[in-house]
Chains A and B, each alone.
Chain A
Amino acid sequence: MTTVVDVEDVWFGYDTELALKNVSLTIDEGQYIGLIGPNGSGKTTLLKLMLGLIQPDRGTVQLFGEPTATFSGGERIGYVSQRSTDTDVAMPITVEEVVEMGRYAHRGRRGLRSSDRRIIDDALERVDIAGLAGHRIDRLSGGQRQRAFIARALASEADLLALDEPTVGVDASSREAFYGLLSELNEEGITIVLIEHDLDIITTHVDTVACINQTLHYHGESATFLESDALTEAYGKHHGILHHDHP
C-alpha cells in the first residue's frame, strides 16, 4: 500500500509557543483518518504541515513521497479550509465558478476545454448540487456550500481530501448527509484527512483516529479509540463536553 502522507518527528512552534512536538504518523492510500484534539491542540497546524502550507521547524513531511516544500502535484489534493465555512465572505461567485477552480491546476494559463466542462458537470452531479450551479455560493446553506467545495476537490480529481472542521454551522441532518457522502467517496478510493471536534462523527465514520494535543496521544483504529486512555490524556479529566446529545 502506498503512503500518501508521511510525517516524521515533526516539531513546530509559533514564535515562543510550541504547537507540536515529536509528531510522527503516516497516512496510507484509501485511509479515512480523523484528527481530534481540544481547541488549540495543533490539529490545524498539523494539517497545514501535511499540505505544505507551513514548513516544520524540525522533522520532515512528505506528500506522495515528495517533501512538501518541493511538492508539485497540487492538483492531487482537495483542500477545504476553515475559511470555506466562514459565512462573512460575500464574494459574488457562482458554484460553477468555484468548482471550475478544481481544473485550474491542470490547465495553468490555458483555457478550460470541453473535457474539463464534463468533469465539472459530473462533479456537481456527484454531490447533488447540479441545479445550483448558477447560484452565488454565499447564498447557499452551509451544507450546500460544503458540497460545492467537495465538488471542487472531485473536479481536480484529487487523491487526497483534506477538510478542516467542514461542518461548523451546518445543521445536524445535513451534517449526517455530508459525512455519508464523504464515506462513499472514501469507499471509491479517495484518502481523507478530517479535522472534526464531534466525537460521534469521529467514531462512526472514520477508520483511523489521531488524537493530538501538542503531541500524538493516540493513533490507531477508531473502534478502539474510546476504550483507550488517549481522551483523558489529551483533554484532561473533564472531557464530557465533547459528547453531543442528539435529539
Chain B
Amino acid sequence: MSSDEPVGADGGTVTTGTNSDTGTVDTDGVATATDRRTGRFRGRVEAVAGGLFGLLTAVMVLFLLAEWLRGSIGGMSILYDQYLIVGQWLDFWFGTIVFSFGSTWRALAAGLLIGFVAPILGTFLIHQQMALIGETLAHTAFAGVAAGVLVVAFTGWAGSLVFVDLGSQGGLLFVALVVSALGALGLQWLSQHSDSYGDVPIAIVLSGSFAMGTLLISWSRDFAPISIDIEGFLFGSLAIVTTQGARLIALISVLVAVIVAVYFKQFVFITFDEEAARVAGLPVTRYTTLLVVMTAVVVVGAMQILGVILVAAMLVVPAAAASQIGVSFRETVVLAIIFGQISAFIGLVFSVVASLPPGGSIVMIAIGIYVLAIVVSNRSVPTISMH
C-alpha cells in the first residue's frame, strides 16, 4: 500500500486491510448523504463569502470609476462625494482623520483589487511550482521603471497614450509593464530552451534584471528630469499610488479577471496535468505564456503598494493558505481571494493608522492567516500527512 491512507466516504480514514480486495471503500448509504450535506453547506458559505468580497471589489472599482469621471459626468461627482461622506463616518467611529480623504479610498481600492487578482493567479502558479516567478517579474519590473526613466529623459514623453493621459508616474509604470511582460516572455523562452532545472533561469533573470535596474537608475540620475522614489518602489508606499497608478490597477484587474473567467477550465487542466492537457489537444504553451504575462502585468500594479521585494507574497501566501483548507480548486481560488483581500484591507488600514509601510503590514497579516490555516487544517483533517 502506498504511504497515504485512503479516505472513506464519510471523510475519515479507513484501514486498508478491510477492503483491500477492491481497493475502494464502501461508498453508499448514510455516509454519502452526510457528505453531500456538508458539501452543500460548504458550497453555500463559499457562495455567500465570495459574493460579499466580490461586492466589495465592485464598490472599489466603482470608486475609481467615479474618481476618474467625476469631472466629465455629473452623477459621478455626486457618487464620489458619497464615498467621502462614508469616510467621514468611519473617521468619526474610529477617531481617525484618514478615511474622509480620496487618497485613502484610492489606496484601499488599489489594495483590494490587488488582493483580488494576485491570489487568483497565485493559486495557478504555486501548483505549477512557479511560486518564485512573481518575485522575478517584480525585479524585471524594477528594471522597467528604470528604463521608463530613460525613455522619459530621452524622448521627453510625458506619458500620454493616444487618448489617455497617464502622467509621468503612469508613463513609468507603462514602460515597466511592457518591460515586465517582455521579461516574462524571455523567462518562458529560457526555461524551454535551456537544459537547466526550472528554477535556474528564474534565479538568473531575477538577479540580472535587478542588476540592470540599479545600473540604469544610477546612470540616469545625472540627466533625467524626473527623480523616482526608489525606496517607495522597493518597499511599497501609499504615496506612490497615484490616481494613474490606481486606474492602471483597475484596468489590469478587470482584464485579468475576465481572461481567467473565460479560460478557467483550461488553466485548471494545464495546472493539474500538463501532459494530459497536451494530449487532449490544448495549446499548453500558449496558456502558460498567457498566465505568466498576466502575472507580469499584475506584479507591476501590485509593486506600487507592496514594493518590489514583497510583491511575490501577495501571489503566493493567500494561495498557499487557501490550498491548506480548500477541498475543490474552485473553493481554493475563492478562499485565496478572501484571504488576499482581508490581508490587503487590514494591512492597509493598519499602515494608515500606524503610519508604517503598507507592504510589510499586508504581508505580515497574510502570513498570519497562512499559519492559522495550517493550524485549522491540521485540526480538521488529522489524517493528512504534512509534506
Interface residues in chain A, defined as those with a beta carbon under 8 Å from any beta carbon in chain B? 51-53, 71-75, 77, 79-81, 83-84, 87-88, 90-94, 96-98, 100-101, 104-105, 107, 109, 128-132, 134-136, 138-144, 147, 152, 156, 162, 169-171, 173-175, 177-178
Contact = CB atoms under 8 A, between A and B. Distances in A.
9 contacts: A80-B276, A84-B273, A90-B323, A91-B127, A101-B265, A134-B35, A141-B2, A144-B24, A174-B1
Contacts of B326: 92
B3 interface: yes
A79 B279 contact: yes
B7 A105 contact: no
Contacts of A135: 7, 11, 327
Interface stretch (B15-23, B54-62, B159-167, B174-182): B15-23
A88 B20 CA distance: 23
A90 B129 CA distance: 11
Nearest to B331: A92
A173 B272 contact: no
Given A91-B272, A141-B2, A177-B22, A134 B327 contact: yes
A104 B328 contact: no
B327 A174 contact: no
Nearest to A129: B24
Contacts of B168: none
Given A53-B279, A77-B280, A81-B275, A144 B327 contact: no
Contacts of B11: 135
Interface string B216-234: 0000000000000000000
A132 B27 contact: yes
Of A73, A75, A104, A147, the most chain B CB neighbours within 10 A belong to A104
Contacts of B9: 131-132
A174 B269 contact: no
Contacts of A170: 1-2, 23
A98 B276 CA distance: 11
Contacts of A173: 20-23
B289 interface: no
Contacts of B25: 131-132, 144
Contact of A75 (B23, B281, B387): B281
A104 B265 contact: yes
Contacts of B327: 92, 94, 134-136
B274 to A, nearest CB: 8
Nearest to B323: A92
Contacts of B343: none
B132 interface: no
B88 interface: no
B382 to A, nearest CB: 12
A74 B279 contact: yes
Contacts of A171: 1-2, 16, 20, 23
B271 to A, nearest CB: 7
A142 B275 contact: no
Given A139-B384, A174-B22, A105 B275 contact: no
Nearest to A85: B2
Contact of A101 (B4, B6, B23, B269): B269
Contacts of B1: 141-142, 170-171, 174
Contacts of A75: 280-281
A147 B272 contact: no
B199 interface: no
Given A88-B387, A92-B323, A170-B2, A83 B280 contact: no
B143 to A, nearest CB: 32
Nearest to B127: A91
A87 B6 CA distance: 12
B39 interface: yes
Interface in B233-288: 262-263, 265-266, 268-269, 271-273, 275-282
A98 B271 CA distance: 11
B329 interface: yes
B131 to A, nearest CB: 13
A81 B276 contact: yes
Contact of A83 (B26, B275, B387): B275
B66 to A, nearest CB: 33
A-B pairs, 9 with minimum CB distance: A131-B27, A174-B23, A74-B281, A143-B23, A141-B6, A169-B2, A92-B326, A131-B9, A171-B1
Contacts of A147: 23-24
Contacts of A142: 1-2, 4
A128 B27 CA distance: 8
B138 to A, nearest CB: 25
Contacts of B328: 92-94, 96-97, 134, 136
A19 B146 CA distance: 48
Interface string B354-377: 000000000000000000000000
Given A92-B323, A97-B329, A135-B327, A79 B276 contact: yes
B35 A93 contact: no
A90 B4 CA distance: 12
A142 B329 CA distance: 20
B255 to A, nearest CB: 17
A145 to B, nearest CB: 9
Interface string B317-332: 0000011001111111
B7 to A, nearest CB: 5
B194 to A, nearest CB: 13
Contacts of B24: 128-129, 132, 143-144, 147, 177
